[in-house]
Structure 1
Amino acid sequence: MNKRHHYLPLQSVIADMVLADNLLDKLGHVLLPAGTCLTPAMIASMHHHDVHQLSILIDDTSEPEPDAAISLQVKMQRLDSLFRHAEKDGPIAKLLAYLQKYRLEEAQ
């Protein structure tokens, strides 16, 4: 069985989905290990840990390929999440702009 993962916004995650990667807090501590089957209580508590999206395991045999526009949106949200604490100018902002441009060109 071919397995892969997608980053899903927290509001799209439902119970019984499986984490593809370890879920870490801001300090790098493991909140939930990869392979954890999510429960409604786990999903509800993620708001307290500033979690905005999760890497969810997808079974290729049962899930269709996500729409390209949704996939781009998820990738752009992931960049926003990763760079949320970065300054709005300087080298980090320039890196973010390059990555956003790359993602947009990749989607075309």
Structure 2
Amino acid sequence: MSVARSLLLFALAALAEIGGAWLVWQGWREHRGLWWVTAGVIALGCYGFVATLQPDPHFGRILAAYGGVFVAGSLGWAVLVDGFRPDRWDLTGAAICLVGVGVIMYAPRG
């Protein structure tokens, strides 16, 4: 499996998890209804399945690396969907997390 495919899987996982959590938030906290919550729960379940498609056999490594993707993806979602304006520290932190993803997932191992 290529790095590009792995990165695509991380992006899909982020979309499912962040989108699912957002739908639950909208349904419950913004009072949009149980259909939103239900859609969110389904999306969150899809995240769990997408994560299993990563090539590395170690759950801990995949989840640790995904944590960095989640941080950056959450800021991206906030910009695109909620009109959030990250400051330089938000962006710096996200960049550090993405470097961590690269080290955890794609560093050469012997």
Normalized against structure 2, the TM-score is what? 0.34
Q: Of Structure 1 and Structure 2, which has the larger fraction of its residues in helix?
A: 2
Higher relative contact order (CA 8 A, sep 6+): 1
Q: Of Structure 1 and Structure 2, which has the larger fraction of its residues in strand?
A: 1
Normalized against structure 1, the TM-score is what? 0.34
